[in-house]
Amino acid sequence: MFGTLALTSSDILFLISICFFAGLIRGFTGFGLSAFVMSLALSIIPPLELIPICWWMEFFAGVFMIKNGWKDSDKKTSMTLWLGAIFGLPIGIFITTILDFQISKFIALTLILILSFILLKNFKLQFLATKLGTVSSGVFAGMATGLASIGGMIVAIYVLASQNSARRMRASLVVYILLNSITTFIFLIIFDVMDQKAFLRGILLALPSSIGVVLGSILFMQKLEKYYRPFTLGLVITFSMVGLIRLTG
């Protein structure tokens, strides 16, 4: 089986650990699964092969979380972001196939880091409150998904810039990511990225990540909601900095 997956037994155990904790983060914050996996698993699996694996984990996470997510979310915003991402995704995947991954990811992570610090200082990003700002955020999120499976981080920045409650922010992220997984799958097939090896790896690693998602969702309780925004912003900044260090180190 390991031969089919093109991974050693130690690789499998390491990836299972990564995916469990990634699911735990996803269950609590509503995003971050792919970013966490991408930041730690690149030493084992190339980025273009990681993207379809992350898709399987994100899809199962979305299925587990959509019941409450749909009820609590800002559906109109999530749909607008998703429609924008439909245009950005093929651009991101195409760039990944022709541009050096290091350069494209460096640009994406630097942008996310700058926006995160702006929000951390409580500056208001008025542009994001407009219709054009929402659509633009969706387009850039789609591109970031195609580039390095970090589109959720772009949407997280957008959602955190709003004045919504923690529950509504988290739910909107859940709905967007699940909707986006539908179009992502189609483009992964078109670009011949979702092959048999990716399918087997994705299904295997979706199990520990799903367990993490369930446990993380249990941790999202009312008394912890006040910590949601600072924790999530801190998470985005950490992912960005770790990714940049790995790229430049």
Q: Tens digits of per-residue pLDDT, 146-174?
A: 777 678 778 888 888 887 888 998 899 89
pLDDT band at 213 (very low <50, low <70, confident <90, very high): very high
pLDDT band at 2 (very low <50, low <70, confident <90, very high): low
What's residue 56's pLDDT? 94
Nearest partner of 208 among 14, 2, 77, judged by Cα: 14
Q: What is the DSSP letter of 124?
A: -
What's residue 101's pLDDT? 67
> b/e map of 210-227 (b: 16 or more CB within 10 Å)?
bebbeebbeebeeeeeee
Q: N- to C-terminal Cα distance for the chain?
A: 34
Tokens representing 65 are: 């979380």
Torsion angle defined by CA atoms of residues 121, 122, 128 and 129, in that order, rounded to the nearest 10 degrees: -170
**Residue tagged 């914050």 (tokens):** 29
Q: What is the DSSP letter of 226?
A: G
The mean of the pLDDT values for the chain is 85
Question: What number is the average pLDDT over the span 75-88?
Answer: 92
Tens-place pLDDT, residues 112-150 = 788 777 777 766 667 777 888 899 999 988 888 777 767
pLDDT band at 18 (very low <50, low <70, confident <90, very high): very high
Query: Alpha helix (H) ranges present in the chain?
Result: 2-5, 9-29, 33-41, 47-72, 75-98, 101-120, 131-148, 151-160, 166-190, 196-219, 228-248
